[in-house]
Structure 1
């Protein structure tokens, strides 16, 4: 939520740094869980190095990747984190990853402290509108675009993902099978 926006809002950077004594740096191997579906989100994470995915298991038992997070991204199961309800998804590292984690209660303290800042509303509106725009673009693309178009969008907007993320996770994220993704990649290679 905060780490990506520290440069844009200097007051936020100062407050984040004030909370450094509550931040824990974790070095994790690939395939480690930060949060399990059904658990309560007790931490906010900032990715210093590495990659994390958010996924859920569908009613049919399929693993569905919802989002990828990389250096500079902040993450948690926000509904679980903010409302103290069970998480709808799991957070898992995809490669050796370093995260900074801060306990929920300290993030809530930080938000309380931010309320006294004149730029508080600007910060919150910017952060939440930025995320909302991103998720709406993905949602609209998922409804409107073909799998080929969704893959092309992914390559255009985040070209590093295919080099860092296993094909079956990308296929899951795009809502297709790994075989279908292989066909798409072959088609693009033949252009």
Structure 2
């Protein structure tokens, strides 16, 4: 919980009384490898903070799954549009490793908005983090080659990238596993 507090306090001042309220709303969960946090058509009710492990956010299409995101330690994760709009999720979140998370439910987050002075700023922090990441990802598809996208992922998470099956990495950067093998061979 202290790691989460430190990350939040890098951007927001939180009083001790506010932190006590926030702490009372946070929950801890251990997730087995291949377990799902969110499934397609379920309404997302939680925002997660990853303590340990790697997650894959993907969309199930008739012909294949498309990986749209990975979740790594010290990052927030959610099917955020479903969380905000309370509509069925179009994506799934699956743990690729044994993992540990802290989460907050939507109702508890809204209670924090009402009960603390830092609550609205925390909500804004979640929204800005999700927006910043999605914008960066969209720009990478418009401005970078698959090789550059792969190298950026390796640079961001050099140890954890080894725990992700190659087919998911390839899907994430928008190429086939064979094309990823060629890129890796050249590097």
Structure 2 runs not aligned, ≥5 long: none
- SS of the equivalent of 2:40 reads coil
Alignment root-mean-square deviation, CA:
2.4
2:44–2:78 Cα contact (<8 Å) kept: yes
Equivalent residue, structure 1, for 2:70: 68
Deviation at 1:11, TM superposition (A): 0.8
Q: How many residues align?
A: 182
Equivalent residue, structure 1, for 2:138: 139
Equivalent residue, structure 1, for 2:94: 92
Q: TM-score, normalised by structure 2?
A: 0.84
Equivalent residue, structure 1, for 2:181: 182
- 4+ residue stretches of structure 1 with deviation over 6 A? none
> Following the alignment from structure 1 to structure 2, what is the Cα–Cα distance between the partners of residues 91 and 43?
12
**CA distances 1:109-144 after superposition (whole Å, capped 9, x unpaired):** 112334x44x945x5555544432332222121123
| Aligned: 1:105 with 2:104 | no
> Following the alignment from structure 2 to structure 1, what is the Cα–Cα distance between the partners of residues 173 and 16?
34
Evaluate the alpha carbon distance shift between residue 15 and residue 75 of structure 1 in structure 2; reply closer, same or farther with a 3 A threshold: farther
> Following the alignment from structure 1 to structure 2, what is the Cα–Cα distance between the partners of residues 128 and 160?
27
**CA distances 1:122-173 after superposition (whole Å, capped 9, x unpaired):** x555554443233222212112322112112222333334222121111111
- SS of the equivalent of 2:130 reads helix
Evaluate the alpha carbon distance shift between residue 87 and residue 15 of structure 1 in structure 2; reply closer, same or farther with a 3 A threshold: farther
Equivalent residue, structure 1, for 2:53: 50
- SS of the equivalent of 1:10 reads coil
Evaluate the alpha carbon distance shift between residue 6 and residue 132 of structure 1 in structure 2; reply closer, same or farther with a 3 A threshold: same
**CA distances 1:83-118 after superposition (whole Å, capped 9, x unpaired):** 11111210110100011222220011112334x44x
**CA distances 1:43-99 after superposition (whole Å, capped 9, x unpaired):** 2222121111111023x4311111111222222111111111111210110100011
Equivalent residue, structure 2, for 1:22: 25
- SS of the equivalent of 1:19 reads helix
> Following the alignment from structure 2 to structure 1, what is the Cα–Cα distance between the partners of residues 15 and 129?
16
- SS of the equivalent of 1:6 reads helix
2:54–2:160 Cα contact (<8 Å) kept: no
> Following the alignment from structure 2 to structure 1, what is the Cα–Cα distance between the partners of residues 178 and 82?
34
